[in-house]
Amino acid sequence: MAHELKEQELRSVESGKRATRLEEHIIEIISDSGEGAQTAGQMFGTILAKTGNSVWTVEIIPAEIEPPARTPAGASGNRIRVGSFPVTNAGDGADLVIGFNEQALIGGKWEDRYKPGCIILLESMWASHSDPEIVEAYNGVVDILKKEEYRLYEVPMEQECSKYVEDARRGKNMFVVGMLMYIYGRDLQLARNEIENKFEAKKPALVAPNIELLEAGYEWAEQNLDFRFEIPPSGVKEAQVVTNGNVAVALGIVASGMEVCAMYPITPATSASHYLSEIFAEVGGHVHQAEDEIAACAFAIGSSYAGKCAVTITSGPGMALKTELMALSVMAEIPLVLVNVQRGGPSTGLPTKVEQGDLLAAIFGTPGDAPKIVMAPATIEDCFYSIITARKIAETFRTLVVVLSDANLATGQQAFPRPKISKEWKAPPVDQSPVPADMGPLEWDPVTGLSQRFIPGQPGGMYTLTGLAHDSKGRVAYGPGVNQEGCNRRSLKLAAFQKTLQPPRVCGDESGDLLIVGWGSTKGAIEEAVARVRKDGLKVSSTHLTFLQPMASGLKEIMQKFKRVMTVEINYSDSYDDELIDENNRRYANLAWLLRARYLVDVDCWSNVHGRPMRPGAIEDMIRQRLK
Amino acid sequence: MFGLNSQCVLRVDEDYKTLKDYEGRAARWCPGCGDNGILTAAQRLCRDEQLPPEKCVFVSGIGCAARFPHYMNTYGFHGLHGRALPTAQGVKLHRPDLHVFVNMGDGDCCSIGTAHWIHTVRTNMKLVTMMHDNNIYGLTKNQASPTTPFGMKTNTTPQGAYLKAMNPLTVTLGITNVSFVAQVAEWLPEVLYDVIRQAFHHNGFAFIRILQRCPHFTPDIFSSLLSEPKNLLMLQHEDGMQLSETMSRLYKTTERHDPADIHRAREIAERDDIVPIGILFRDENIPRYEQIVKPGHKSTWGQREKVLNSAFDRFGINADFDSANEKAQW
């Protein structure tokens, strides 16, 4: 079989169905939950990356584990954006969609995820289903797709797969990978290898049937499809790693030298702990699943207090629960890294979907004055390095560092250069040397607010840490000068840290008509949109902030060189389109509030809470409209 | 000759620690506060065991009892209301070499920190926990706590407490992996010290409920126990608490109770006609969380490099870049 097929592959190359050469393509594979579209997407994404393309993949995840079958809300799958240039975001509408049923598929159309008229490959078994209601539903969707002139191909996946396996539902995803291997002209052997890697260790019996299905998909596509696409490699040849943002966070924790991660399950943050749990013990670390978010934070703080800085991972609702402990970390000057993988809010909100709504909560959410450092990775690679940086800052400045990732980074997969391991990442050993006589536990430097931390076990350093107001000897004291001094010193640490920051970099010209300021995961989409409009001569630039609290110097000077400044964010802001909204009551997006307050610049904003990654096309349209 | 061993025999005078070595700042509890007796017992324990002060950490929450660490000359963590136990767990997991003690009040432990209380019992980490139970919120001035007796008038229950008091002993004895439960009273210093000492030597999580008078809000709450020694049930056993002759003469209501017997421990804990004093339950063989999860690998940088490299290999691409790309089907 394999031999025969190889010949067919060759024939098909010779017969040379002309492939269309493109710079990029966006593929979506959509099934019911449990049908394996995610596996297919990950596998094909990996193959594309391995063959030299730049790839960004995003999981499409329903909120339930087993949502009802054949519903738009139950759609599960993967989006793959593949390009010949460095792909930094999930892109705009899909060019090619594969649906395992018409309902899961049509949901994407209602959500505006597909390009008008794009190619759709749809499982056709529903057309002849025994339930007339299903047949009717299927025909209804097919009519819409045809009417709206999508390039619809009905594919007898079930029928074809059942030639090879009893339960076709479980093998369709490999048939789909086979089709994609043909469409995008990749060596089938790579997919065979992926299947072997996936199943050989745990389920060796599944290797052969899955390879058969893969080959069947390839063959079917070859015989029945009238299109192929060639996306030339992007030219990256250096060694790379492909992970999602949560795995990158977990790897960052290992690389940072931390030893304790305490957490409580919360979507979309938990998968970072899953992967960390697999490997952490090998480096003497432990993932502690606490009884609740509060306990997780307290556990991490206890650990940090007694030695190396620890980390707690959560999402917005969990961060809200940790608020009091976050303030303790600041007040008692205990290093702590808190990773918040943001999701849609408020309250339970949109657990599986993206938002950047926790910035102000992270900075200001703690009652009283609790100055802490807040930073946001903009890429998956950043997710890795920001944890290493955060650990260092937390220990050096004896404070809390909040790292704001989000669901877009957590579930997106991207290749980045394989990190070169550096000894500088290493956490220092726990200091157990005697403390000099007469030295206090909080002898703040009057300029920087910094002080030496005493760690249990250090002879002569005995003191009682407290969240009550205290003086530089750590003594509880309520005098008016004492709290003023303590607050002042803790605040000065932020200023001292701020002096170490590099000014933000401008993407585009140093001056112009419009500057877009962003933070976090929207960087790729913003820069792509800016690049597109700049091609048409629009004077637009962008800048992206890594540190949100404190902010680097230089931003004001940058902003002043533009006629207009606005932020683009995934969080809520009021729109002047609403009758009641005017400048007296408009509520701005998170970063816009901050910039307006600090720089007295009339910063506008454009944001939404659709729960999905920012699309470059949408930002582009917005820019063009604003500059009309 | 405490602390005498072969390494320090010549320096016994300078190395030997006295009670003074464990005294922190002057205690600021109200005169007559039962917390003072508990503090003395803890300092005596440290002295008798000759614990290096820098190796001890007293973790507390918020409340009168939670001021405890300030009055010890050890490391202390006066943290947040209700959160002493998870904080102490974090300390112990990262630093098993430290002796970790926890001081909480009844509000701290049985109300705001209840979830942590239950789960810390279950993890069975080696921690000595003193729950100072004065049946009232003292620091916030006289509000009903979970252990306030039914009908007692407080600032939040001027008509009398609505609910029957919670029984911390039966709760603790009902939790999976419970390994040490005791009850003592601060006005019985000899017994208090003995039980804290046994808790210190226990191989796991030791929970001691200490009946404690608040001189302001519950000065007479235990008066029937003070005036009528027969209202205390002294649990004696060669493996548990043992009473001195003097104590035996005073406290005549006794029961020979084997701390290994959890069923009898639960029956005793259930009684509301008498107050048990002593070690209700002890099991030295329950696995401790810090032992279970104790990593088998050393935390060396070399090990980290190895793990990172194999992860980068696992997620790596382009190792076989050229061969993969040459075979593209065009």
- B295/A contact by beta carbon, under 8 A: yes
- CB pair distance less than 8 Å for B308 and A185: no
- pLDDT confidence of residue A170: 82
Residue A34 to residues A77, A198, A205: CA-CA distances in angstroms? 10, 17, 20
- B286/A contact by beta carbon, under 8 A: no
Query: What number is the ipTM of this complex?
Result: 0.94
The alpha carbon of residue A9 is apart from the nearest alpha carbon of chain B, in Å, by 8
- pLDDT, average across residues A168-172: 86
- pLDDT confidence of residue A457: 98
Q: Number of CB pairs < 8 Å for A and B?
A: 232
- Provide the 3-class DSSP secondary structure of residue A34: coil
> Where residue A461 falls among pLDDT bands split at 50, 70, 90?
very high
How does the average pLDDT of chain A come out, rounded?
94
Residue with tokens 């939040």: B156
- CB pair distance less than 8 Å for B309 and A421: yes
Question: Side chain identity at A333, as an amino acid letter?
Answer: E
- pLDDT confidence of residue A6: 46
- pLDDT confidence of residue B289: 97
d(CA A335, CA A392): 9
Query: pLDDT tens digits for B110-144?
Result: 999 999 999 999 999 999 999 999 999 999 999 99
- pLDDT confidence of residue B18: 96
- B292/A contact by beta carbon, under 8 A: no
- pLDDT confidence of residue B325: 46
What is the DSSP secondary-structure string of A426-473?
Answer: PPPPPP-SPPPTT--TT---TTT---PPP-TT-TT---EEESS-B-TT
Query: pLDDT tens digits for A76-112?
Result: 999 999 999 999 999 999 999 999 999 999 999 999 9
- CB pair distance less than 8 Å for B90 and A421: no
Closest Cβ–Cβ partner in B119, B299, B317 for A242: B317
Closest Cβ–Cβ partner in B80, B94, B304 for A283: B304
- pLDDT confidence of residue A14: 44
Q: Which of residues 297-316 of B touch A (CB under 8 A)?
A: 297-301, 303-309, 311-312, 315-316
The pLDDT tens digits along chain B (330 residues) read 444 455 555 566 678 999 999 999 999 999 999 999 999 999 999 999 999 999 999 999 999 999 999 999 999 999 999 999 999 999 999 999 999 999 999 999 999 999 999 999 999 999 999 999 999 999 999 999 999 999 999 999 999 999 999 999 999 999 999 999 999 999 999 999 999 999 999 999 999 999 999 999 999 999 999 999 999 999 999 999 999 999 999 999 999 999 999 999 999 999 999 999 999 999 999 999 999 997 667 789 999 999 999 999 999 886 554 444 445 555
- CB pair distance less than 8 Å for A285 and B295: yes
Question: Side chain identity at A402, as an amino acid letter?
Answer: V
The alpha carbon of residue B126 is apart from the nearest alpha carbon of chain A, in Å, by 15
- CB pair distance less than 8 Å for B83 and A325: yes
Which residues of chain A are within 8 Å of residue B74 when distances are taken between CB atoms? 462
- pLDDT confidence of residue B299: 80
pTM of this structure: 0.94
Closest Cβ–Cβ partner in B73, B87, B303 for A301: B87
Closest Cβ–Cβ partner in A251, A292, A465 for B76: A465
d(CA A342, CA A320): 12
Query: pLDDT tens digits for A593-627?
Result: 999 999 999 999 999 999 989 999 999 999 999 99
Residue with tokens 């050393």: B298
- CB pair distance less than 8 Å for A282 and B328: no
- pLDDT, average across residues A286-296: 98
The CB-side HSE value for A432 (13 A sphere, CA atoms) comes to 11
- pLDDT, average across residues A409-421: 94
- pLDDT, average across residues A338-367: 96
- pLDDT confidence of residue A67: 87
Which residues of chain A are within 8 Å of residue B306 when distances are taken between CB atoms? 282
- CB pair distance less than 8 Å for A187 and B321: no
- pLDDT confidence of residue A17: 64
> Where residue A198 falls among pLDDT bands split at 50, 70, 90?
confident
- pLDDT confidence of residue A16: 54
Closest Cβ–Cβ partner in B89, B328, B330 for A302: B89
Phi, psi of A60 (to 5 degrees): -105, 115
- CB pair distance less than 8 Å for B25 and A49: no
Closest Cβ–Cβ partner in B92, B306, B325 for A51: B325
- pLDDT, average across residues A45-68: 88
- Positive or negative, the CA dihedral A319, A321, A327, A332 is negative
Which residues of chain B are within 8 Å of residue A458 when distances are taken between CB atoms? 54
Question: Side chain identity at A623, as an amino acid letter?
Answer: I
- pLDDT, average across residues A367-389: 97
The alpha carbon of residue A115 is apart from the nearest alpha carbon of chain B, in Å, by 27
Q: What percentage of residues in chain A have a pLDDT greater than 70?
A: 97
- pLDDT, average across residues A484-507: 97
- pLDDT, average across residues A165-169: 86
d(CA A251, CA A244): 11
- pLDDT confidence of residue A39: 92
Question: Side chain identity at B325, as an amino acid letter?
Answer: N
Which residues of chain A are within 8 Å of residue B94 when distances are taken between CB atoms? 259-260, 302-303, 306-308, 310
Strands A229-230 and A20-21, bridge-based pairing: parallel
The alpha carbon of residue A305 is apart from the nearest alpha carbon of chain B, in Å, by 7
Whether residue A12 is predicted with pLDDT greater than 50 in this model: the reply is no
Q: Search chain A and give the residue with CA nearest B329.
A: A185
Please say whether the beta carbons of B260 and B240 come within 8 A.
no
Whether residue A10 is predicted with pLDDT greater than 50 in this model: the reply is no
Q: Search chain A and give the residue with CA nearest B115.
A: A291
Please say whether the beta carbons of A250 and A405 come within 8 A.
no
Which residues of chain B are within 8 Å of residue A240 when distances are taken between CB atoms? 316-318
- pLDDT confidence of residue A171: 87
- pLDDT confidence of residue B295: 64
Q: What percentage of residues in chain A have a pLDDT greater than 90?
A: 88
Strands A260-263 and A310-314, bridge-based pairing: parallel
